[in-house]
Every structure is written in structure tokens, then in C-alpha cells.
Structure 1
């Protein structure tokens, strides 16, 4: 079923900070989506941010109507698209009480097999939240690892998590010293076969690495729950050859130095799509190499997703780096400024919906976030702050018709939502569902 539902701001938050919803984002505030995830029962969770920074306002300002602020909002939707609850995770602004959700970069969502919502961020911070968003169940905090500062080892887990059909956890792990930087950068892809709970975490078996030789590792960088060949990953003990070594001949400019690992997605229980992207240049990166590698659960690169041109189909335009996959049907998807692409399990491109055509040009305003367990594509409109659920067909040759119908339905449902919600500049405010503070 095609559905459209809003990334809603809690009315209490809008009132507390007297947010001017008519103001342009150039005035120092904004709303931006991070991720969307779906549960097997059809419920959907969205993670997004609202922040305000006014130059000249003191850090200690106590008046919430004036003070700078930042929140991550998690909203839970029913299978029918109704807002069931929201949760606020405050950032370090305006004297707010620190959130129990461990923060970090590139924050993602995942619904675990036993129900809790996992919120993960770089470097290796994972928070488990009750399905109704009422409380934090557990936190795995890697602690800060900064150059020239004493480091106290935390209790880390993963930088991102995705779930395979049988409940395996496909994870990425960040390491210190990647590309010789004095920071922690995502570098390892692995899979865990046990449950992640408040009382225990499974061992992540490392399958692939990006940088084959991260610099300056010591005992403090070894993690017992991240293993390769029966020993903790670290120093020289890691999957080799690294992915960048396997594709080294394809990047003549930088040799994949300063490349980065995207979030992998499961194409089956034992096959994963691992994206890697060459160095991003400040003056423009269109045409830079990228690879969507197929990696099995033995750590072998068995192929790749074919059919995209480095220049004509570049994900670097607009930095559209997300992949989504339906492992039940063996389909993989990618959306960027040039089209929506779909592959089968063998890596053969079965469909491209070209955004240069009038029919699919509206896709340039969406970000692909995930596939639901039922195989629906979940897209977020970047300006209208709406989630669009698109049922994907069993046969990818029917994808164009399905997406065309979804875009037409989106326009009708958006009009109905505007009458129901009365948004201000595409900012949607909800006052009926409970709002929790985590």
C-alpha cells in the first residue's frame, strides 16, 4: 500500500523554543532527516534533527525562546501511517539534560529481531530503545578517542546495524588510525549471529576491511567482540586483501586512499552489498570511482552491482550514498540525482528510472533510506519532510509502473495531509501523540 506520512515536530518543542516555522534555514535553523527503518509488523521509525543556532547568543542562555538548541527526534508510526509516539534526544545546547542516547556521526536506525530499536553512530556507539520509545534499554558507548588526549576504553558495539532475514546482524565497525588519521573511521564490515541485548552483545565476525593497515594500533584498540580468525581485530589481524586492494586498479588518482565505506545492506542471509567510495574532493567529485561490492559471509568478494557509469550515474552529485535491499526477493536499490537503480541478486541491473524524464524527475527531491521487511521502498522528501512508502513489485521490470503510480498517489496524499495538518512551510506539527525524553 502506498503511504505518505510526515516527519512531525512535537508541538511542545515548537512552543518551548518559539520556533519560527516561517523562517528560512539560512537564518540558522533547520530540520533534516537521518534515517528511516521499518519493523516486521509494518510500523515505521524515523530519525531526524531539528537545530537552531543564532550567532551572538551566549552558550549559557537560559531562555529557551532565545537559546540555541539541538534535538534528534525519533517518531514511531503505525502500519497505517499514524503517529504513535515521539522521543526527544537533546544535544549539548542550552543547558539541556544530556540524552541517554549515545550520539555520534552518521546516526542510523535498525529494528532488532526481538523488537527493540537500535540507534547506532560512529564510532561504534549503539543504544537500544524500547519499541514504544518510552525508555532506553541499554547503551554501548565506545567513549571519545581523540588525538593527544588520554583514552578510556568504553563498551563499544557497532557503527551501523542491519538485519538479515534470519536475524543475523550485518554491522560496520570503526577503527582508529584509518588512512593514518588520528581519529576513528568506519573500516570493518562484519556479521554477528547472536542477539544484541541489554545484558550481552554477540561477537562480530569481520568479513571485509577498507584500509588494510590502520596506523598506530595498540592494546587499547583491540575489541574482544570484533574477531577475525578467532582473535580480536587490530594491528595486522584483519581481513586481507582489503576491498580497496581488490579494486586498486580502478582509481588512478588516489589509489583509494581517503576512500570511505558506506553502510552495507543484506541481499540474502549470506550475501551483502558493501559500498565503497573514492576520495571526495572539495572542488567537486563527480566521476570519482565507486564500487557496490558483493561480499559473501566467508569474506569473499564474489562480484558487484553492475551497470552504473562513474560520470553519468555518479552518486557524488548531491552525495547520494545510500543503498537499500530486499533480501527476501534478492533485490538491491540505489537512488541518486540521475535515477533510481534496481539489481537482482546476481548484480545485474534490471531497471533504471531516469530522472531526466518528466515522469521520474520528482525523485531528485527524495532520499532513499531503506527497504521494509515487506519489500517497500522508504523514501524521504528532502524539502517537504514527508516519508513515501513505495511497494516494489516482485518483478523489477514492473518497477517503473509502481514508482510512477506512487508519485501520483504521493501528490494526492500530500494534498490531503496539508488539509489535515496545516503545515507551515512544509513543517508538520503534531500535538496528539505522547512525547518521551530519552
Structure 2
């Protein structure tokens, strides 16, 4: 069995894990001192050598993204941390910011120095007020200790950090929609090119990275790029936080090298809840194609998961046993994407609306066989044709669920899901009154 690698999660169980005092006791900010004594270009190269890939879903090489910035022209450039964690099932960045926010703050300082940024932003999902307050306090402590502000540690490097709370829109997890929201406009994706590295926040060169990506920088700098690259697989290097939720005995955050399998993680989590078996699961949140019990041993790295027909995404492993209706679960996700579509492009705006109508009919046993084919056809017309990845994400659970559980969708044409999955057996999706459901 692959061992866990508690690095970002090492002292989450400390009574005061979120304080600067605890972080400094764990060698915190030693990496920043080291970074400020190095040429900025060496930090960018170190990140490339480590093999760190974006931990926000797409898995793009972090150092390469930094390297896309144009040469300095005397104007400002920005770092924006995407902390708008909104993917159903994803719950790694919020506990990281709650338990150990100084990892992120130090990572922001190092990254800003590496790319020549003097003002960084952390864009946080607005509903998580408790996390917002904790981040504000962490930034305040870092300013007071001289790790942020003017002339940091006497090196002449200046950095201000602004923590910005969004208004709670899933679309703002898309980097260009996030930038529009940060500028005070409605959060909608921008046409690319130009990409943020060339014209991002306030039309200036901008790096947008996920929380976990930036928080991983201090450990990499402290222990070396080779240390990080030795973990994981050849093309998916390093460690990551895997979020297990649903029908496992001990759900939670499991930090392990990339390439670990679901079987190994579930064993660590005490197995599927007693008396039940795995039916289906998501490898990277609800916007990734689902897997079944045939995928127990797929290595959870970017390449292996893609080869098996899905995406590693945010490593949000939602586990469902045989008491759950696939049709009902996918219908709930479809409701979410229809609600969160920003409406900017026709394929997503109209497509998610019709997907929701058809999924609701099938869920209630009021569909037809033609509805199943129509679902797939609508998905084909959304995939690759929407303005951003929200449209693609809305189709993934549907097309994969039809692929693996078409007979269950077929049963939805004549029989409500609650008759296939009696309410007394289902704990994840409790049943409302039949009169309400069928109204």
C-alpha cells in the first residue's frame, strides 16, 4: 500500500494549527528567506524542474505558466490565487486555508517574488465567511511579522496581499471570469486569446494559480525539486490532497503521492460502509466522467485517469454504493450546472436547461427511450462548443452515466427511481414525499 505523505496536512490536528506561531515552529517562512536570496529566474526553473502541475483541475505545469509572462516592461504584474472552490464534492482548499493558511501566504510571497509581482490577490468563495476571516487574520499576522508589506525581511522586495470575497458564483472558478469579478464586473469568461499571462487583471500580465498549487511551493523550495519529483509518477509528480466523501467509513482528506489507487485510499478510509459495495464514483468532482467498480485500481494520476476515460480534476472522490440511483445523482448535478451557467454562450445556456428537463423526467419515471438518445445528442452539441469548461463539465457525468448504466436510465422511462431504490435503503439522497416529487 502506498503511504500517505502528510506535508500540507502535517499539523492540521495541532490545537492552533492556523496561527503564525505554530507555522514558524514547523519551519515556516524559512523557504521565503531562502527564496529572497535567490535570483527570481532560478525559482521559476525550480518549479519547472519539480514537475508541479496545477492542482485546480486542469493539471497544467505551474512553472511553465509562470514562464509565459512577457519580459518586464516597467508596469505592474499580478498573482491571483483561485480560492473559489465550488466544484460539488471538492473540499481540499477550504480545509487547507482553515487549518494552515500560512502555507498559502508564504507560497504567495515566494511566487510573487519569482514572477515580479508586488500586489497579489486571493479570490475566495464568499459563502465561506469563516475561512475569509481566518485568511484575513493570517495576512494580518504575516504583515506584522514582516513577511508582507514594504522591504520584506530587509531585502527591498515589497508585496501587498488582498483577500477578496466573491459573491458565490461557480463560474468565477474559471480564471477569466474570476478576473472580471475581481475587477468589479459580472463574472463571465473572457474570449481567449489574449490569455491572462499577457492581459489578465487590469489588462496586465497575470498568473492565476490554485490554492494547493501555491501552498506546495514552500515545501518544494525547502526540500528541493528532486524531493518533490521523486514522488508520484513519471509525468504526474508530487503529492496531492485526495478528498474522500460519500459512502466510506472515514471520509476526509488523504494526502498521498499521485498514482495511488482508489482501492488503497478506501482501505485507508476503512472501506465502503459496512454491508454495501461500491457502485460508482467520481475521480475529480462532479464535472468529471464517473467511474464504476471496474476502476478500483486505476492509478490516480493525470495520464492514467485520462486513459481510462475521465479526468483527475480536483481529486474529489465521491463514493456511491448500490443504494444510490445514478439517474438521481446525475440529475442533482445537472440541476447545479443549469443553475450556475452564466448564460453568456448559447450551447451552455440552452443546453443545460434542456438537460435538466430531460433528467428530471427520467428521474421521475416519466421519460421515453428517445429521451436517452436526446440527452446524448444535446451533450454532443455542448461539448467543445461552449465558451468555457462549464458546458463540458455539465455533459461529463451524463454521457459517462449513460455509458455505464444505460439500463438504469431506461428504467426511468417507466418506473420512478424511488421504486428502484427504496427510501429505507438510501441515506445519501433521502426521499421527499411522492406527491411532492411527482407534482
Normalising to structure 1: TM-score of the pair? Answer: 0.26
Q: Which has the larger share of helix? A: 2
Q: Which has the larger share of strand? A: 1
Higher CA-based Rg: 2
Normalising to structure 2: TM-score of the pair? Answer: 0.26
